[in-house]
């Protein structure tokens, strides 16, 4: 007999809840509290071979944690504060004021010794390329030692604080392996295909302005039900953060030190050097044995082909893909759209309103890319903001700040412009 009332009551309550806060779970709460993760990022205890790494993780864009992989890197044991201070205390580094990234923080330059004296108390974050003299202590993992990865190492960066850093939600247009020497990190990671959920708003096109401590679901409604993966890193772990995956990184102390390596995204594995490489049977090799320089990585035609996944696409899909690859506000307004539509027509030689992989391959898209660069500089290229930290990552099925290393003893590896932010 109470059954009747009950039935009425439940739908009412349900309606009430769903209109007042059903859609706003986690509104103004930290990123990640809006919806539970789809799962954790896969963890492996064995490091795969370069070919396996490419086939299973790089190509499909799938994050993975290599448990304990960094414990063999000399820096893992060696780089205590005392050691760093006595050996590299005079080396100067860029240090950011403020551990919460907003891409407009002050940067200042100080000797490592000075940083080490004050980082435990201050709201500062050292984010800077590892200078050459420190690279003997950093190892590249086996999975990068052939196949062409080491031909395009782009930058290796140190991320050092007392914990409590928070990156913006962003992506990098290159692949990344981040190894943690001290502390723990947590990453919120979203597949690169989920553009509909992650609003990458201005100013530089590769990050979201959402406040990661207080997510405004009215401004960023896609985050209410974004499918995300969680990565937990402990000291000694390395995380692969795939090209273009969205990620947000939090670090915990009392001492947090990570070192990452960025490498150009490869569309093909080149096994030529796997046979004769001096590293072919090695588990690790010191970073100091390789060149680390900014290189271009694949151009627009290859990136477009990769996104097309072997299928013809229409104009709308073409515009969407280019928009995501190009990162330019300007390109996506009025005139830019017209230019892209013209390019689409040029590529579509059989005029069936679709462009096929063959048509892209036979087109002059590489020349158009040059023109686009002049007319519509990519937002990240234009403004090299300061250093930000970043890096991080997710599971499956998924720059720009220039750092002037002027004061570091060798300033040849400036890794500019690859879009970094807090993560790793």
Ligand X SMILES: *[C@@H]1O[C@H](CO)[C@@H](O)[C@H](O)[C@H]1NC(C)=O
- Taken in order 70, 72, 73, 75, the sign of the CA dihedral is positive
Which of 237, 273, 294, 390 touches ligand X by CB under 6 A?
Answer: 273
β partners of residue 13: none
Q: What is the DSSP string of 347-413?
A: H-TT-SSEE-HHHHHTS-HHHHHHHHHHHS--HHHH-------EE----S---------TTSS----
Q: Which residue has the tokens 């993780």?
A: 57
Alpha helices in 144-232 (DSSP H): none
Task: Indicate the SS3 state at residue 100.
Answer: strand
> Cβ closer to ligand X: 219 or 333?
219
Residue 44 Cβ vs ligand X, minimum distance, rounded to whole Å: 27
State the binding string over 217-256 for ligand X (x if CB under 6 A, else -): ----------------------------------------
Which of 49, 184, 270, 288 touches ligand X by CB under 6 A?
Answer: 270
Q: Is the peptide bond before 203 cis (omega within 30 degrees of 0)?
A: yes
Map the footprint of ligand X across residues 82-121, applying CB under 6 A: 97-98, 102, 104-105
The one-character DSSP state at 24 is: G
Residue 159 Cβ vs ligand X, minimum distance, rounded to whole Å: 17
Residue 94 Cβ vs ligand X, minimum distance, rounded to whole Å: 15
> Cβ closer to ligand X: 147 or 394?
147
Residue 148 Cβ vs ligand X, minimum distance, rounded to whole Å: 6
Task: Produce one character per residue of 334-355: b if its CB has 16 or more CB atoms within 10 Å, e if not.
Answer: eebeebbeebbeebbeeeeebb
Map the footprint of ligand X across residues 15-74, applying CB under 6 A: none
Residue 389 Cβ vs ligand X, minimum distance, rounded to whole Å: 12
Map the footprint of ligand X across residues 132-151, applying CB under 6 A: 148
Residue 126 Cβ vs ligand X, minimum distance, rounded to whole Å: 15
Alpha-carbon gap, residue 278 to 285, rounded angstroms: 10
Task: Produce one character per residue of 260-282: b if its CB has 16 or more CB atoms within 10 Å, e if not.
Answer: bbbbbbbeebeeebbeebebeee
Count of residues that interact with ligand X, criterion CB under 6 A: 9
Which residues fall within 8 angstroms of residue 8, CB to CB, at 6 or more apart? none
> Cβ closer to ligand X: 106 or 225?
106
265 binds ligand X (CB under 6 A): no
Map the footprint of ligand X across residues 336-355, applying CB under 6 A: none
Q: Which residue has the tokens 């000075």?
A: 114
Among candidate residues 255, 251, 257, the one with its CA nearest the CA of residue 166: 251
Residue 329 Cβ vs ligand X, minimum distance, rounded to whole Å: 18
β partners of residue 157: 129, 260
> Cβ closer to ligand X: 56 or 102?
102
Alpha-carbon gap, residue 67 to 268, rounded angstroms: 26
> Cβ closer to ligand X: 172 or 211?
211
**Contact in structure between 271 and 146 (CB atoms under 8 Å):** yes
Alpha-carbon gap, residue 236 to 142, rounded angstroms: 15
> Cβ closer to ligand X: 94 or 273?
273
Residue number of the CB closest to ligand X reads 98
| Piece in contact with ligand X (CB under 6 A), picked from 14-22, 46-54, 163-171, 268-276 | 268-276
> Cβ closer to ligand X: 147 or 392?
147
> Cβ closer to ligand X: 19 or 293?
293
| Piece in contact with ligand X (CB under 6 A), picked from 215-223, 269-277, 293-301, 397-405 | 269-277
Residue 41 Cβ vs ligand X, minimum distance, rounded to whole Å: 29
Pairing verdict, β 124-129 and 229-234: unpaired
Residue 103 Cβ vs ligand X, minimum distance, rounded to whole Å: 8
Residue 105 Cβ vs ligand X, minimum distance, rounded to whole Å: 4
CA 40 distance to own-chain centroid: 17
Residue 403 Cβ vs ligand X, minimum distance, rounded to whole Å: 17
> Cβ closer to ligand X: 168 or 355?
168
Alpha-carbon gap, residue 177 to 256, rounded angstroms: 16
> Cβ closer to ligand X: 39 or 278?
278
Interaction site with ligand X (CB under 6 A): 97-98, 102, 104-105, 148, 270, 272-273
């Amino acid at each position: 007999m109470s059954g009747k009332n009950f039935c009425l009551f439940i739908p009412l309550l349900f309606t009430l809840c769903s209109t007042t806060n059903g859609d706003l779970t986690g509104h103004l709460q930290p990123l990640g509290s809006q919806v539970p993760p789809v799962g954790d990022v896969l963890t492996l205890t064995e490091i795969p071979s370069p070919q396996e790494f490419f086939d299973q993780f790089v190509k499909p864009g799938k994050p993975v944690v290599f448990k304990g992989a960094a414990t063999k890197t000399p820096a893992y044991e060696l780089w205590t504060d005392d050691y760093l201070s006595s050996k590299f205390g005079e080396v100067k580094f860029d240090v950011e004021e403020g551990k919460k990234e907003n891409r407009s923080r002050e940067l200042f330059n100080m000797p490592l010794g000075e940083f080490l004296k004050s980082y435990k108390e201050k709201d500062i974050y050292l984010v800077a390329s590892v200078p050459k003299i420190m690279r003997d202590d950093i190892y590249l993992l086996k999975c990068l030692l052939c196949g062409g990865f080491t031909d395009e190492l782009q930058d290796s960066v140190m991320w050092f604080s007392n914990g409590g850093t928070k990156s913006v939600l962003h992506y990098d247009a290159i692949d990344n392996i981040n190894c943690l020497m001290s502390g723990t990190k947590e990453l919120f990671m979203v597949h690169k295909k989920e553009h509909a959920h992650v609003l990458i708003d201005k100013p530089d096109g590769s990050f979201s302005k959402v406040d990661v401590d207080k997510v405004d679901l009215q401004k960023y409604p896609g985050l209410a039900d974004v499918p995300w993966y969680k990565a937990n890193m402990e000291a000694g772990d390395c995380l692969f953060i795939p090209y273009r995956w969205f990620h947000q990184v939090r670090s915990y102390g009392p001492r947090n030190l990570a070192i990452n390596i960025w490498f150009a995204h490869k569309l093909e594995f080149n096994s030529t050097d796997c046979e004769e490489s001096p590293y072919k049977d090695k588990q690790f090799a010191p970073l100091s044995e390789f060149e680390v320089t900014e290189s271009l990585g694949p151009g627009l035609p290859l990136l477009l082909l990769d996104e097309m996944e072997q299928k013809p696409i229409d104009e709308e899909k073409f515009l969407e893909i280019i928009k995501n690859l190009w990162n330019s506000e300007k390109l996506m307004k009025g005139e830019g759209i017209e230019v892209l539509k013209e390019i689409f027509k040029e590529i579509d030689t059989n005029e069936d309103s679709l462009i096929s992989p063959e048509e892209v391959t036979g087109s002059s898209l590489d020349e158009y890319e040059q023109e686009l660069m002049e007319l519509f500089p990519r937002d990240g290229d234009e403004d090299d903001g300061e250093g930000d930290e970043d890096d991080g990552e997710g599971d499956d099925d998924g720059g720009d700040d220039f750092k002037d290393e002027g004061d570091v003893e060798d300033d040849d590896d400036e890794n500019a412009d690859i879009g970094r932010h807090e993560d790793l």
